[in-house]
Chains A and B, each alone.
Chain A
Amino acid sequence: MTSLVLALASAFSLANHAQPEKIPSIPFESFKLANGLNVILSEDHTAPIVGVDVHYNVGSKDEKPGRTGFAHLFEHLMFQGSAHLPKGEADRLIENVGGSANGSTSQDQTVYWEQVPSNALEQALFIESDRMGWLLPTLDQAKLDNQREVVKNERRQSFEMQPYGTAFITLAANLWDPDFPYHWLPIGSHEDLSAATLADVREFFRQWYGPNDASLAIAGDFDPGEARRLVEKWFGAIPPSPPPEHRRPTPRPLTQEKRVTIEDNVELPRLYVAWQTPKLFAEGDAQLDMLGAILSEGKSARLVKRLVMDERIAQQISAGQSSQELASTFLVVATPKPGQTVDRLLAEIDEEIEKLKKEPPAEGELQRAVNKTESRAIFGLEPVGGFGGRAASLNRYYFETGDPGYFPQDIGRYRKVKPEEVRDVATRWLKKDARVILTVMPRKVALAPRTPRPPGSPATRPARPANEGSK
Chain B
Amino acid sequence: MRRATPFLAAALLACAPKHLPPSGPKPALEAAAVQPGDRSRVPEPGPAPALKVPPQRHFQLTNGLKVRLVEVHKLPVVALHLVVDAGASYDPADEPGLASFTAAMLTEGTKKRSATRISDDLGFIGASLSAGAGFDSASLSGSVLSGHLEELLEIFADVLMSPVFPQGDFARVQDQRLVSLIQQRDQPGATAAKTFQKLYWGDHPYGHWPMGTERSVKATRRGDLVRYHAARWKPRSSELVVVGDVAEQGLRNALEKALGAWKGGSTPTSKAAVAKPPRLQTVLVEKRGPAPQAYVMMGMPGFQRSSPDYVASEVAFQVLGGGTASRLFRKLREKEGYTYGIYARSEARKLGGTSFIVGSVKADVTGAATEAVLREVAGLRERPVPPEELAVARNALLLSLPADFAVTAGIAGKLAEEVVYGLPDDYWDQFAVQVASVSPVDVQRVSQKYLDTAKLTTVMVCDPAAVKPQLEGVPLGPIQVRPAAPAGAPSKTSAKVRAR
Contacts and interface: CB of A to CB of B under 8 A. Distances in A.
Interface of A: 3, 5-14, 16, 22, 24-34, 44, 46-49, 83-85, 87-89, 91-101, 115, 117-120, 122-123, 126, 130, 134, 145-154, 156-158, 160-163, 225, 228-229, 232-234, 236-237, 264-268, 297-300, 305, 308-309, 312, 315, 337-339, 364, 367-369, 371-372, 374-376, 378-379, 381-384, 402-403, 405, 442-443, 445, 447, 450, 452-453, 459-465
Contact of A232 (B20, B34, B186): B34
A157 B293 contact: yes
A375 B325 contact: no
A465 B144 contact: no
A342 B484 CA distance: 26
A161 B392 contact: no
A379 B42 contact: no
Interface stretch (B122-130, B193-201, B304-312): B122-130
B277 interface: no
Contacts of A148: 337
Nearest first, the 7 A-B pairs at minimum CB distance are A98-B399, A375-B126, A149-B337, A265-B289, A450-B483, A48-B49, A47-B406
A300 B463 contact: no
Q: Which of A25, A298, A376, A379 has the most CB of B within 10 A?
A: A379
Interface in B434-467: 463-466
Given A96-B391, A98-B395, A225 B338 contact: no
Given A156-B293, A463-B363, A119 B20 contact: no
Contact of A452 (B16, B44, B324, B481): B481
22 contacts: A5-B75, A6-B12, A8-B75, A10-B5, A25-B12, A31-B20, A33-B22, A33-B31, A98-B396, A100-B403, A117-B45, A117-B49, A146-B334, A161-B295, A162-B187, A163-B187, A233-B37, A309-B172, A338-B490, A372-B126, A375-B127, A462-B470
The residue in A5, A162, A383 that gathers the most chain B C-beta atoms within 10 A of its C-beta is A5
A265 B470 CA distance: 25
Contact of B16 (A28, A100, A101, A364): A28
Interface in B285-301: 286-293, 295
B431 interface: no
A49 B20 contact: no
Interface in B168-221: 172, 175-176, 179-180, 182-183, 185-188
B145 A14 contact: yes
Contact of B12 (A7, A225, A374): A7
A463 B325 contact: no
B438 to A, nearest CB: 15
Contact of B34 (A153, A236, A266): A236
Nearest to B401: A98
A390 to B, nearest CB: 11
Contacts of B26: 225, 228
Main secondary structure of the interface of A (DSSP, over half): mixed
B129 to A, nearest CB: 12
Interface of B: 2-6, 8-10, 12-13, 15-26, 29, 31, 34-37, 39-40, 42-49, 73-77, 115-116, 118-120, 122-127, 143-145, 147-148, 172, 175-176, 179-180, 182-183, 185-188, 245, 286-293, 295, 323-325, 329-330, 333-341, 360-364, 391-393, 395-403, 405-409, 463-466, 470, 481, 483-484, 486-490, 492
A123 B43 contact: yes
A315 B406 CA distance: 37
B145 A462 contact: no
Contact of A463 (B34, B120, B335, B463): B463
A452 B465 contact: yes
Given A92-B392, A95-B395, A379-B143, A299 B119 contact: yes
A287 to B, nearest CB: 18
Interface centre among A130, A161, A452 (most CB of B within 10 A): A161
B410 to A, nearest CB: 9
B292 A229 contact: no
B116 A123 contact: no
B457 to A, nearest CB: 22
A126 B396 contact: no
A267 B395 contact: no
B368 to A, nearest CB: 12
Given A13-B145, A156-B362, A372-B123, A98 B290 contact: no
Contacts of A3: 12
Nearest to B333: A150
Contacts of B143: 379
B465 A459 contact: yes
Contact of B9 (A7, A236, A453): A7
Contact of B487 (A126, A442, A460, A464): A442
A371 B37 CA distance: 48
Contact of B31 (A225, A236, A369, A405): A236
Contacts of A229: 29, 34
B13 A371 contact: no
A49 B410 CA distance: 14
A25 B13 CA distance: 6
A119 B187 contact: no
B443 to A, nearest CB: 16
Contacts of A234: 36-37
A450 B337 CA distance: 32
A16 B123 CA distance: 11
Given A11-B9, A382-B408, A452-B481, A91 B323 contact: yes
Nearest to A444: B487
B359 to A, nearest CB: 9
A193 B183 CA distance: 31
A315 B173 CA distance: 10
Nearest to A471: B337
A100 B325 contact: no
B40 to A, nearest CB: 7
Nearest to A16: B124
A160 B290 contact: yes
A160 B120 contact: no
Contacts of A93: 42
Given A146-B337, A163-B186, A265-B289, A9 B483 contact: no
A133 to B, nearest CB: 9
